[in-house]
Structure 1
Amino acid sequence: MIRVAVVDDHPLVREGTAALVARQEDMEIAGVAGSLEELRPILRDESVQVLLLDLRLGDESGFDLLRHEAAGHMPAVVVVTSFDYPQYADAALRLGAAGFVIKTAPTAELLDAIRSAASGGLHFGVRPGNGVSLSGREREVLRFVIDGASNDEIGARLKISARTVESHLRRLFERHNVASRTELA
């Protein structure tokens, strides 16, 4: 039996996903949460095998969990998001996620991703790196943003001014239709 936890800030999505999983003969729900704070006690249960993780959790980011919890016990993570961005899939993969499924995907794709993650495999409905074409410099800036670096830190690492970093970020925000570094990451 695959033990699955679900974290999504939208109750309808969270409960609907949990109901879908619970109907499977080979799966059971280990817990549901609406925030990273609510999720922490669930993750203490080491029998949780797969975590379905939304990227946008109100003011929180699922990427934060991937970044900060990688050192401790973490079940296999399948990112379930409405953001159909290959850059997000790429970031999730680099941060250790076992899957990436868009919320508009058929339910069978989500179930396949859960089974794949539970058996140690990978499942990415959005292929990393196949989206909007980024320049090499934009890709570098994006990677540093995902890693949590400030504009000054990015500038120092790339040997460019913080103002040039801001210019790259403005273009990235426009290109990806986001308004903040958190959304971009």
Structure 2
Amino acid sequence: MIRILVVDDQQMVREGFAALLAAQSDMHVVGQASDGVDAVAQTRSAGPDVVLMDVRMPRMDGLSATRHITSSSQARVLMLTTFDLDEYVYEALRAGASGFLLKDAPAADLVHAVRVVAGGEALLAPAVTRRLIEDFVRRPSFTGVKPATLRALTARETEVLRLIAQGLSNQEIAAALVVAEQTVKTHVGRILGKLGLRDRAQAVVVAYESGLVTPGS
């Protein structure tokens, strides 16, 4: 059973999401929160597997709440936003969020997203990922310097990381490299372990911040 905390400052939106998810046979809504402060407190007390997190809220926004939650618990955060290029989304991924979804996405997409994130995967659409990264690399702080940590990866693991950063799924990576999907899963696990990352979302961030992959490559 997937335990879910729904966080949104709009009551009707919050209750709508909660009702939808509670109706799934493999999901249980353990709580609802109207801001980041309450979200952090309820994560600590209720122990959800997935936190469905709004970005813009009073008292503490979704970005700050995500930092608190991912640094102090095993809960995975799925960000909700009304914009496909919300100014906070990239920072939320850096803070440890496992992906994000537009609020106007179909109900089936939301249910699927929760299951994906609960399963330890990241929810990053390739097109949105590219746009987020293109925005990031235009920032003055971007250096594109490859950190020493990537040297721990083998040539094949580096290749797999590059494909992850391009938004490919395990199945697509397997097809591109002509290997079994289980082999790709093994490589992904080793990449995350060697780099000390929670999931594929953080792997994408590392790949672009390090300059391993650049927009358009």
Are 2:110 and 1:130 equivalent residues in the alignment? no
* SS, match of residue 84 in structure 1: coil
Aligned to 2:97: 97
Query: How does 1:22-101 map onto structure 2 within 5 Å?
Result: 22-45=22-45, 47-85=47-85, 88-101=88-101
Whole-angstrom CA distance in 1 between matches of 2:134 and 2:121: 28
Whole-angstrom CA distance in 1 between matches of 2:43 and 2:61: 17
* Alpha-carbon shift at residue 61 of structure 1 (Å): 1.4
Aligned length: 141
Larger deviation, residues 60-69 vs 14-23: 60-69
* Alpha-carbon shift at residue 38 of structure 1 (Å): 2.1
For the 8 Å contact 2:78–2:101, the answer to whether it is kept is: yes
Aligned to 2:196: none
The list of structure 1 runs, each at least 4 consecutive aligned residues, that deviate by more than 3 angstroms after superposition, is 86-89, 131-137
Deviations 1:44-85 (A, max 9, x none): 136410000000013531111122333211411000111220
Whole-angstrom CA distance in 2 between matches of 1:19 and 1:58: 23
**Once superposed, what is the RMSD of the aligned Cα atoms?**
2.4
Larger deviation, residues 11-20 vs 86-95: 86-95
Q: Sequence identity of aligned pairs in percent?
A: 35
Whole-angstrom CA distance in 1 between matches of 2:133 and 2:2: 35
Q: 1:116 to 1:136 in 2, by over 3 A?
A: closer
Structure 1: tracts of 5 or more residues without a match: 142-185
Whole-angstrom CA distance in 1 between matches of 2:116 and 2:42: 21
Q: Which has the higher helix share?
A: 2
* Alpha-carbon shift at residue 107 of structure 1 (Å): 1.2
* SS, match of residue 52 in structure 1: strand
Whole-angstrom CA distance in 1 between matches of 2:100 and 2:70: 17
* Alpha-carbon shift at residue 12 of structure 1 (Å): 0.5
Whole-angstrom CA distance in 1 between matches of 2:137 and 2:118: 35
Deviations 1:125-180 (A, max 9, x none): 46223269548453638xxxxxxxxxxxxxxxxxxxxxxxxxxxxxxxxxxxxxxx
Structure 2: tracts of 5 or more residues without a match: 143-217
TM-score by length of 2: 0.58
